[in-house]
Chain A
Amino acid sequence: MLPLGCSRRLVAELRDALDTCAERQRQLEQSLRVSRRLLRTWEPAETPTPTPEPTPGPETNEEAPSSAGTPSPQDLKELELLTQALEKAVRVRKGISKAGERDKASSQKSGSIATSATTAAAPHRASQTKLPRGTRQATRPAKGLPKPKLLSAGDQTCIGRGPLAAKPGPGLRDQQIAPSAAPQAPEAFTLKEKGTLLRLPMAFRKAASQNSCLWAQLSSTQTSDSMDATTSSKTQFLQKMQVTSGWPSSGLSAAEVEAEVGRLQKACLLLRLRMEEELARDPTDWMQEYRSLLTLEGLQAIVGQCLHRLRELQPVVEQQLGPWPEERLPMASLPCGGGAEPTWSPQLLLYSSTRELQTLAALRLRVDMLDQQIHLEKVLMAELLPLVSMQEPLGPPQLALCRAVHSLLCEGGQHFLTILRDEPAD
């Protein structure tokens, strides 16, 4: 058994790591759910109360309750013809008028132009046709609602208004409008087939463009230096704060010192790697030999500087402010990107194939995982190596501990070495 304090700390670290992983998994699964749902057939939207309205006109829609019988072949044929005629009309119109803001119709059924999957088998159901562009609705829901503007071009989908409630509302009143209403064969909406027809609603587009505009302004005000009066008054304020404080300035804050020590640790690691790389090389000519020598000397100089810096920090490290040990304060409560982040508007990451994206994501995960492993390795080393070095007696428990520690530290807990007692054969 490991000592109590050591156990607790190590278990806490490992649990932290496990929790981080679990959190990430949870977020990923949420995204997966959303994406999978998007790629399936889109269900008709929520509203639970269907309001089937009687529709005038023979050739126009009928709200066929699901109990209605299957459509006759003749109806189907008519439907086909009407669909094609409508498509053509719409194509012609598209060439004339511009892409539909003012649109219409059955985009009431915001987003989903689907029949439910189960009833897709029954092709004929009461449906609303997509009105060609330019027709207006007598009643429209408030324009604050985001609605997709479905281009009618080539769009043969119609809002499947089955017994499964379509959204009540203006869509049903379409039939009053003239060119309307050839009932069309409702088809399920899948992203694969019809995805290119989607358009974002106007309100959303406005908000989004305003958003990116504001972010751009934000980043430009940050980089501009026109705030001289403000900057100097801020500096003055800070100085006054320091002067009226209770004690003389101690220079670096604890957070800064911690960050510095962390940087120097990273420096040590990188310098060591570079040194080993250099030592592993075999210089073949005098030029390489010289270069190697210079590199090693340069590394030595840098190490000296780092040590010097660390020693300078010692007095600050010794006097710590405030209660720390129980509450593990975050190392950097402000983001640790180097200095000012120049742009907060998202830059683009362009990829060209799914394989590329997968490689990128896998590498990203791998880097994060390695980061975590290195951190854990350091923590384990700090706790376990002293334990093992202190053990004096050679009994089996100590050996077992050595073996376990070796496995944890050197093999990532995956492999074990074997310890044999080397006794002369009797």
Chain B
Amino acid sequence: MGRRRRPAELAGAAGALPEAIAALSRALPAGPSPETFRRAKFDRPEAAPALWRLLFRVLSPPRADGASASRALEAQARWVKAALLTQGYPRLRLARLPDDGSQGSRELLLALSWLLARKPLLEPLLARTRVRLGDELPAFECGALASPSLPAPRLEADGPVDACHLQWLMGKLRFRWRNLMASQQEQCALLGKIHMYTRGCHSDCRLGHLSVAETELLRDPEGGRQLLRRLESENARLGAALEWWRRELVFWQWMDTVLGACPPEAPQPACPPGLGGRGRTAGAWDPAVWELQALQEELQAAVGARRAAWAARVRGQGPEWSAARQAAQEATREAVGRELAALRQAWERGGGPQPHGPLRLVRTEAGAPGGPGLRAVEAIGALKSREACLEAALHQLQAQCRQQLARLAGALPGLLWIPPPGR
């Protein structure tokens, strides 16, 4: 087997596949050795644990890496199975693999390839563990604060609690937020100073000043060395990822053969087996339907009233009035259509006005034209409108509650309900 390099397009090049697999294994976090991949093709059991762990690492949410990585193989295997099924993994065989993580390497290899084929997998993984050289405002992913973390087994068997306990917890939460605000303000002040004091130091003139990480590496050489090592290993991974992209065609051709080597599945009935309960989404589905139905009724009433009023107005005028106003009405129709389309974007795209990706803070002079980048003023504006929207949403929810509770109160005669002052 010669080591001549051939372009990846020439399928069957004997040297290209091992290199592609090697690149993939270097690019993945905790990537298994290329040998593991080869063993997995033949469904060797010794390859299974490494692949379970890899899939666990790949599928876990970003914040959970630390504690959960040390969980037992069985727990990880179970979790991976559930996660893959929620993502829609089509093969039934995965669900039938034993929980102890000892088998199924070929299936896991197929699962990994399935994840790689569907959506970009490597890039988000790399971006997650990216070495941050600049200072950034904590930019949390949408809803990350609200989303549950990886299930840490909560073993406390709590008894039932009082509403007071809940109020106490809410108060504690409020206090923590206040602390957070204060600390954040202080951090910003310090950042401002550091940026100001180190202006002119950076080799990259777009940046102009050092960040905390860079200044820290100057102060503490040991830390600096570690940072450098992390940078270099990230560079290696990035290089591996780029090489993988150049070579991945052979990998897919190889995966076809792996899939072919699997024994055929017996066709199953349409309903997948082994379900317990309606799952979590069902819990959210019902209220969503009720809310939308309630909204629909309200809109129906409002529209009915307005339409009647409009019809009355048009009747009162003559036909020439309507004809004269056609153009204006058309324009209005278009404007409303555009506005509603923009409204739709707010939930369909899911991103909204927030800029994606990490943002490095750069201090500039107030009057300077500045290079490419987002201006703080614009970001502030976007955040303010988002804040207003969220506040309105919160008040609306609270108003809903108030209405419902007032209805209940109305059903209980003989009591006076005095709202708290200031309302």
Query: Does B415 have its Cβ within 8 Å of any Cβ on chain A?
Result: yes
Which of B30-38, B46-54, B154-162 is near enough to bind chain A?
B154-162
A165 contact set on B, CB distance < 8 A: none
Query: Does A246 have its Cβ within 8 Å of any Cβ on chain B?
Result: yes
Known contacts A146-B217, A252-B88, A347-B359: does B332 contact A290 (CB below 8 Å)? yes
**What's the Cα separation between A24 and B343 when bound, in Å?**
32
By size class, the interface of chain A is 35 or more
**What's the Cα separation between A419 and B408 when bound, in Å?**
13
Q: Are B138 and A24 in contact (CB under 8 A)?
A: yes
Q: CB-nearest residue of chain B relative to A149?
A: B218
Q: Are B123 and A42 in contact (CB under 8 A)?
A: no
**What's the Cα separation between A59 and B80 when bound, in Å?**
71
Q: Are A350 and B374 in contact (CB under 8 A)?
A: yes
Known contacts A21-B173, A362-B181, A413-B170: does B142 contact A336 (CB below 8 Å)? yes
Query: Does A91 have its Cβ within 8 Å of any Cβ on chain B?
Result: no
Interface string of B300-335 (1 = CB under 8 A from A): 101100110110010000000000010011001101
**What's the Cα separation between A320 and B279 when bound, in Å?**
6
**What's the Cα separation between A31 and B194 when bound, in Å?**
13
Q: Are A321 and B136 in contact (CB under 8 A)?
A: no
Q: Count of chain B residues with Cβ under 8 Å from any Cβ of A?
A: 241
Q: Are B59 and A333 in contact (CB under 8 A)?
A: yes
Query: Does A295 have its Cβ within 8 Å of any Cβ on chain B?
Result: yes
**What's the Cα separation between A268 and B185 when bound, in Å?**
35
Query: Does B14 have its Cβ within 8 Å of any Cβ on chain A?
Result: no
**What's the Cα separation between A313 and B289 when bound, in Å?**
11
Q: Are B313 and A286 in contact (CB under 8 A)?
A: yes
From residue 228 to 276 of chain A, which have CB atoms closer than 8 A to chain B? 229-230, 233-238, 240-242, 244-250, 252-258, 261-276
Interface string of A1-37 (1 = CB under 8 A from B): 1111001101110111111111111011101101111
Which of A70-78, A121-129, A172-180, A399-407 is near enough to bind chain B?
A399-407
Known contacts A45-B220, A324-B279: does B292 contact A374 (CB below 8 Å)? no
Known contacts A24-B138, A111-B224, A268-B291: does B408 contact A388 (CB below 8 Å)? yes
Max chain B Cβ within 10 angstroms of own Cβ: one of A304, A370, A376, A415: A370
Q: Are A199 and B405 in contact (CB under 8 A)?
A: no
Query: Does B270 have its Cβ within 8 Å of any Cβ on chain A?
Result: yes
**What's the Cα separation between A374 and B395 when bound, in Å?**
9
Whole-angstrom distance between the Cβ of A286 and the nearest chain B Cβ: 6
Across the interface, A333 reaches (CB within 8 A) one of B61, B146, B158, B192, namely B61
Q: Are A324 and B149 in contact (CB under 8 A)?
A: no
Across the interface, B189 reaches (CB within 8 A) one of A23, A358, A409, namely A358
Q: Are A16 and B228 in contact (CB under 8 A)?
A: no
Q: Are A337 and B141 in contact (CB under 8 A)?
A: yes
**What's the Cα separation between A201 and B214 when bound, in Å?**
10
A-B contact count (CB 8 A): 677
Q: Are B291 and A238 in contact (CB under 8 A)?
A: no
Interface string of A290-326 (1 = CB under 8 A from B): 1111111111101110110011011001111111111
B347 contact set on A, CB distance < 8 A: 263-264, 266-267, 270
Max chain A Cβ within 10 angstroms of own Cβ: one of B113, B309, B343: B343
A366 contact set on B, CB distance < 8 A: 387
Known contacts A336-B142, A357-B376: does B346 contact A307 (CB below 8 Å)? no
Known contacts A207-B235, A341-B127, A347-B357: does B88 contact A253 (CB below 8 Å)? yes
Known contacts A2-B163, A258-B280, A347-B373: does B143 contact A145 (CB below 8 Å)? no
Known contacts A268-B291, A349-B362, A421-B415: does B192 contact A354 (CB below 8 Å)? yes
Q: CB-nearest residue of chain A relative to B192?
A: A354
Q: Are B141 and A336 in contact (CB under 8 A)?
A: yes
Query: Does A143 have its Cβ within 8 Å of any Cβ on chain B?
Result: no
Q: CB-nearest residue of chain B relative to A299?
A: B299
Q: Are A318 and B216 in contact (CB under 8 A)?
A: no
Query: Does A117 have its Cβ within 8 Å of any Cβ on chain B?
Result: no
Q: Are A217 and B329 in contact (CB under 8 A)?
A: no
Whole-angstrom distance between the Cβ of A333 and the nearest chain B Cβ: 5
Known contacts A18-B176, A255-B88, A374-B390: does B185 contact A385 (CB below 8 Å)? no
13 A-B pairs with CB atoms under 8 Å apart are A23-B63, A111-B217, A210-B235, A245-B265, A274-B343, A293-B310, A319-B272, A322-B85, A328-B148, A341-B357, A370-B391, A377-B398, A406-B405
Besides A246-B272, A347-B374, A377-B397, 14 more A-B contacts (Cβ < 8 Å) are A11-B161, A34-B216, A111-B224, A191-B198, A200-B218, A233-B253, A246-B90, A321-B275, A325-B280, A348-B359, A360-B137, A362-B181, A374-B390, A375-B145
